Amino acid sequence: MTKPKFALVGAGVIGKHHRLVAGQLADRLDLVAVADLDLSRAAALSGRAYPSLTELLRKEDVDVVVVCVPTGHHGAVAIEALRAGKHVIVEKPAETTVARTDEIIAAQRAAGTLVTVISQHRFDPSTETVLAAIERGDLGRITSGIASVDWWRGQSYYDSGDWRGTWELDGGGALMNQGVHTVDLLVAALGRPVEVFAWTGTLAHERIEVEDVAAGVVRFASGSLGVLHASTAASPGLSARLQVHGDRGSAVIDNDQLVFLETSSEERLMGTTRSRSVASDPAQLSDSHRLQYLNFLDALDGKAPVRVTLETNRQSIAVITGAYESARTGKPVTLS
């Protein structure tokens, strides 16, 4: 298509970041308007500011709507845009539950337009290197993986917005809000998840409904096993880390950086091993977002498929919400 016109809904922290990315890609897209309940925030990002998507769509001709509102409002905004015939980019996660995600999927199928969910770390050079190694079989049969987010959030973080730490609008705590990207990478590496068992706790914060610590295990269709750990109660805050292990090699991504990759040939059985340990520069946050935007723009032009779809993100949401159900019931949860 010709240079597409974008509208941004939500002018908070992540909305500002999307505005930055749109500026970096000004040769490929036009950000024509911003909507936010706080009109002054919207005006700070665009001269054409509106209090809602509804009002924006009445006045502006746009091709793509970017959804950066609190998670619990993603579905309502995305579905409104889809019913208006627009393409959509949704910040992670698509919604707070599988059922709500399925509602967006149904709206997309009815509209026949494109949707991507921001999972920018799939576009990191470190991730692409590891996934390519898995695809080639360099790590052999994938046997296990660990997704761990060891972060700290002070009480002021949760007190900064009345939606933070709520089931309705945040969708969960450390696992859903902070851990979703690392869970997504675990799914990308290990494949389709089929069962999860987990525990959660609220141990270091007050006045929140959701967990600040979660731990669990996931079984995948391939037979491989995964470990989940997410925390906003790990002072002073360490890293987000993915480990992938196979019977011929292993890989470790720490804070978006590929810090270890070792692959072994069959010669290992004879006492010799080919291996390498590597370190790579971490991708900047805006860089990864920009790469996902470029994929979406290429998809609009018919040059490439959308790499992160609603169905892709649904798997990660299923793992996380399944973990929450397991923590409530004390039983393993089968994932559909």
pLDDT at 162: 87
Centroid of chain to Cα 271: 41
Enclosing H/E stretch for 257: strand 257-263
pLDDT of residue 97: 96
- DSSP letter for each residue of 87-118: EEEEPSSS-SSHHHHHHHHHHHHHHT--EEE-
* pLDDT given at position 286: 56
Q: Where along the chain do its domains lie? A: 5-117, 121-282+314-334
Question: Which is it for the CA torsion 280, 227, 151, 323, positive or negative?
Answer: positive
Question: Quick check: helix, strand or coil at residue 252?
Answer: strand
Nearest to 298 by CA among 10, 28, 88: 28
The model's confidence at residue 161, banded by pLDDT at 50, 70 and 90, is confident
Give the bridge partners for 30, in sequence order.
Answer: 5
Average pLDDT, the chain: 93
pLDDT: which is higher, 4 or 280: 4
| Token duo for residue 266 | 């069959």
* pLDDT > 70 in the chain, percent: 93
The predicted structure's pLDDT at residue 13: 93
> How high is the pLDDT of residue 34?
98
**Which stretch of 100-104, 228-232, 262-266 has the lowest confidence by average pLDDT?**
262-266
Strand order in the sheet with 142-150: 257-263, 249-254, 240-246, 142-150, 225-231, 213-220, 193-201, 333-334
CATH number of 5-117: 3.40.50.720
What type of residue sits at position 162? D
Residue 213 reports pLDDT greater than 60 = yes
Token digits of residue 8: 């941004």
Please say if the pLDDT value at position 115 is more than 50: yes
**pLDDT computed for residue 284 by the predictor:** 47
What number does CATH give the domain 121-282+314-334?
3.30.360.10
Query: How much is the CA Rg of the chain, to the nearest whole Å?
Result: 20
Does residue 280 have a pLDDT over 50?
Answer: no
Query: Residue 6: its pLDDT value, please?
Result: 98
- Alpha carbons 299 and 302: distance in angstroms, whole number: 5
Is residue 171 pLDDT above 70, yes or no?
yes
pLDDT at residue number 196 = 98
| Contact between 17 and 8 (Cβ < 8 Å) | no
265 pLDDT tier (thresholds 50, 70, 90): low
What single letter denotes the amino acid at residue 20?
L
Give yes or no on whether 5-117 and 121-282+314-334 have one common fold: no
Query: Model's pTM, two decimal places?
Result: 0.91
| pLDDT (0 to 100) of residue 191 | 97
Question: Which uninterrupted H or E stretch holds 130?
Answer: helix 125-136
pLDDT (mean) for 112-136: 97
**3-state SS assignment for residue 211:** coil
Burial of 159 (0-12, 13-18, 19+ CB in 10 A): middle
Please give the pLDDT value at position 270. 37
The arithmetic mean of pLDDT across residues 256-281, rounded, is 61
Q: Burial of 34 by CB count in 10 Å (0-12 exposed, 13-18 middle, 19+ buried)? A: buried
pLDDT digit string, tens, across residues 48-97: 999 999 999 999 999 999 999 999 999 999 999 999 999 999 999 999 99
Query: Which comes out higher in pLDDT, residue 216 or 163?
Result: 216
Asked whether residue 269 carries a pLDDT value surpassing 60, the answer given is no
DSSP class of residue 283?
Answer: P
CB 88 within 8 A of CB 115: yes
Amino acid at 74: H
Weakest mean pLDDT among 86-90, 175-179, 282-286: 282-286
